[in-house]
A and B are shown apart, each in its own frame.
Chain A
Amino acid sequence: MRDTYEFPEEQPGAARTAGLRRLSRLTWRATQLSAVTAVGFATLFARTAPAHTVASDTTAASTAKTSPSAPAPSSSSPRKARHPKRVRAIATVSAQAAAPAPQAAAQASQKATPAPSKSANLAPPSTAPAPAPSTSSASAPAPTPTVSSTSHGGG
């Protein structure tokens, strides 16, 4: 059994140096953790934050381009885009303007890219429907008209 327990005398300033070293390590770890967290949040935000929606963009355009003489549908306040770089307008595809190449329609369908522009309002035709000429006055029998009615069965 030992009578005395003698401990070597600490070097002056050793405890202070060790504390500083520990503090330095902690600071470095905290910096690393912050960096990783920041990258993680940025990635999460980029993945989950919705792109500027078509819906809200449509409303915005409607509001901006409505002619004062045209009682266009009233619109709600548009939501602000959170990702301006992704803002893309969409349009109803005008068949003539966006006529696909003369290939099978199915192929055109699969390859078509949504048009990057959209309508500000519903557009009228170039010419309004005209009355059909009387069949009795025509030199030849008029062809049977194709019918526009509500959706119904084939036949």
Chain B
Amino acid sequence: MPSAATTIAARTFPALGTFATVLVADPDALDVAHDLLAAELDAVDAACSRFRADSELWRLNHARGRPVRVSPLFAEALAVALDAAGLTDGDVDLTCGQSLVRLGYDRDFGQARRHTSPLRQPPMPAGGWRRVRLDLERLEVRIPAGVWLDLGATAKALAADRAAAAIWAATGCGVLVNLGGDLRVAGDPPDGGWRVGIADDADFDASTASIEPRQVVVINDGGLATSSPLGRAWRRGGADLHHIIDPSTGQPARSCWRTASVAAASCVHANIASTAAILRAERAIGWLDGLRLPARLVRHDGTVVTVAGWPADGPETAPAN
């Protein structure tokens, strides 16, 4: 029996424009876990960064409609993003790259939000995910000229899934990977499970140490993700903007939720569901319930709605500081 499970080792470092945390149930495995996670994040960043001129995504976005050969990792990330679009009927649309650029999110977020001048171009709706062509046999991708992809959301969740699996395979101990709030666990959990704090009012400037969780839950398997318009929000010319885009308008989604936290079988699925929940607003309750995806939805006034078995806030789930 894993008697050492009560001793959890953790390490946090900046990555992908946010933070990365790895927790292992065996402290001796921490160094290996850290190295594996860092390598995975480097690989995902090199493939899927929208801002790096040497990334595969950059090459594809600037290919002007020509087919582009891609790596297996990029093909996997693209397949996951297309899967997300299909599973949400296009609500989570990877072709929002130009929409984000028009809104001023055209560089690393830390730099982009410093610009506050009015936007010079009108919003641009998503280019249409059904127009993306991915040939898995040739590892070849083609998107129409002028359409830009943004794999930000699903690529980060995919990285969490892949890293957790790799660490578990390499070390054999229970592991939790947390990439900016997108979590994935693998292997045997520690005694009592993995404790996860759920924050619903943290903005970009909140550090991992300063965030006050509103609720603490325990998970033992799968993934958990939180989406919110609060985290990556900025202001241009008096307009408040954020990064969750309504594909039909190219503008930030107007949602009744300030955060949506969802648990699922994988981090990718949790992330897809939480992002779609923001976009679907009130309809998200019935949708998540029908899929039996446990979720915690928080309205702008702080009212909490729990779905599909997510525990209600209460004294027993109060933050443990």
A134 touches B43 (CB 8 A): no
CB neighbours of A42 from chain B (8 A)? none
Report the minimum CB–CB distance from B208 to chain A (whole Å): 5
Given contacts A55-B82, A99-B169, A151-B231, contact A50 B142 (CB under 8 A): yes
Contact of B73 among A61, A109, A130 (CB under 8 A): A109
| Contact among B36, B162, B192, B292 for A93, CB-based, below 8 A | B162
Count of A-B contacts with CB under 8 A? 357
Contact A146 B36 (CB under 8 A): no
A98 to B320, CA, bound (A): 35
Interface of B, secondary structure class, is: mixed
A154 adjacent to chain B (CB < 8 Å): yes
Q: Give Cα A131 to B265, complex, Å.
A: 18
Decide: B129 and A55 in contact? CB cutoff 8 A: yes
Instruction: Provide a sorted-by-A list of 27 A–B residue pairs whose CB atoms are within 8 angstroms.
Output: A55-B130, A55-B132, A71-B290, A90-B80, A90-B136, A92-B266, A94-B266, A100-B162, A105-B36, A105-B39, A109-B47, A112-B76, A114-B72, A116-B136, A119-B269, A122-B273, A124-B264, A125-B223, A126-B222, A142-B320, A146-B178, A147-B197, A147-B199, A149-B228, A150-B230, A151-B231, A152-B180
Stretch at the interface among B97-105, B118-126, B245-253, B304-312: B304-312
- Assess the A125–B294 pair: CB atoms within 8 A: yes
Stretch at the interface among A8-16, A23-31, A72-80: A72-80
CA of A126 to CA of B76, assembled, Å: 24
Complex partner residue of A148 from B44, B169, B178, CB under 8 angstroms: B178
The answer on a CB contact under 8 Å between B197 and A148 is yes
Q: Which residues of B contact A (CB under 8 A)?
A: 6, 8, 10, 12-15, 17-19, 21, 23, 35-37, 39-40, 42-44, 47, 71-73, 75-76, 78-80, 82-89, 91, 110, 129-130, 132-138, 142, 156, 158, 161-166, 168-171, 176, 178, 180-184, 186, 192-200, 202-211, 213, 216-232, 259, 261, 263-269, 272-273, 276, 286-287, 290-294, 308-311, 314-317, 320-321
CA distance A115 to B136 in the complex (A): 10
Residues of A within 8 A of B (CB): 50-51, 53-56, 58-59, 61-62, 69-76, 79, 86, 88, 90-96, 98-106, 108-116, 118-119, 121-135, 138, 140, 142-155
Partner of B207, one of A74, A88, A140, A154: A154
Q: How far is the CA of A71 from the CA of B285 in the complex (A)?
A: 11
Question: Residue of B at shortest CB range from A125?
Answer: B222
- A146 with B176: in contact, given A50-B133, A132-B217, A154-B19 (CB under 8 Å)? yes
Q: How far is the CA of A108 from the CA of B44 in the complex (A)?
A: 12
**A58:B87 contact, CB within 8 angstroms:** yes
